[in-house]
Amino acid sequence: MPWGSIEVEAKFTAGPDTEARLVALGAALAGSSSFRDLYYDTPDLRLTRADHWLRLRQGAGWELKCPPEPPAGGTGGVPEAAAQEPPAVATTYQELTSPRAIVGRLCGVLGVAPAPAWDQVPGAVAGLDLQEFASFGTRRRSYRLGGLRVDLDQADFGYAVAEVEALVGAQEEVPAALEEVLQLRRALGRDGATRVPGKMSVYLQRHRPRHYEALLRAGVL
Q: In whole angstroms, what is the distance from residue 218 CA to residue 52 CA?
A: 12
Site for ligand TPP, residues 93 to 122, rule: CB under 6 A: 93
Q: In whole angstroms, what is the distance from residue 177 CA to residue 168 CA?
A: 7
Q: Is 136 in the site for ligand TPP (CB under 6 A)?
A: no
Site for ligand TPP, residues 170 to 189, rule: CB under 6 A: none
Closest approach of Cβ 131 to ligand TPP, in Å? 17
Q: Is 11 in the site for ligand TPP (CB under 6 A)?
A: yes
Whether the Cβ atoms of residue 7 and residue 167 lie closer than 8 Å to each other: yes
Closest of 155, 159, 151 to residue 181, by C-alpha: 151
Site for ligand TPP, residues 55 to 74, rule: CB under 6 A: 65
Q: Is 221 in the site for ligand TPP (CB under 6 A)?
A: yes
| Out of 88, 107, 110, 167, the residue judged to bind ligand TPP by CB under 6 A | 88
Burial string for 56-82 (b: 16+ CB within 10 Å, else e) reads: beeeeebbbbbebeeeeeeeeeebebb
| Out of 198, 202, 211, 212, the residue judged to bind ligand TPP by CB under 6 A | 198
| Out of 152, 199, 202, 211, the residue judged to bind ligand TPP by CB under 6 A | 199
Closest approach of Cβ 13 to ligand TPP, in Å? 12
Half-sphere exposure (CA, 13 Å, Cβ side) for 166? 24
SS3 at position 161:
strand
Closest approach of Cβ 12 to ligand TPP, in Å? 11
Residues that bind ligand TPP (CB under 6 A): 11, 53, 65, 88, 91, 93, 163, 198-200, 220-221
